[in-house]
Amino acid sequence: MSFRDRFRDFVVDQTTDVDGAPALSRRATQACAMVADMTADHSTAGAAAIAALGAAAVAAQGALTNYIHPPGPYATFREDER
């Protein structure tokens, strides 16, 4: 397996759940919660703004991921095993 295939598999694993659903909102809320927690020590308004970014990521994913790909064979760019 080439580096490109391993890297693509790593990215897909990090951006999807076990069932194949996108995990962007979960990752974004985790990151925003961590940054908002650090920001809360300095500015409550800043923490609220960062938390709002996490909520916006959840809303954006919900709006953009309603399309379900139909089952069937799809073209891939994987290199053939030799």
Please list the residues that pair with 23 across neighbouring strands.
none
Tell me what pLDDT residue 26 has: 74
- Give pTM, 2 decimals: 0.49
Distance CA 68, CA 73 (A): 15
Give the tens place of pLDDT for each residue, 27-40. 777 888 888 888 88
> CB–CB of 24/61 below 8 Å?
yes
Confidence of residue 79 (pLDDT cuts 50, 70, 90): low
Distance CA 46, CA 13 (A): 32
Tell me what pLDDT residue 68 has: 63
Give the tens place of pLDDT for each residue, 49-77. 888 887 887 777 767 666 566 677 767 77
Residues contacting residue 40 through CB under 8 Å, at least 6 positions apart: 46, 47
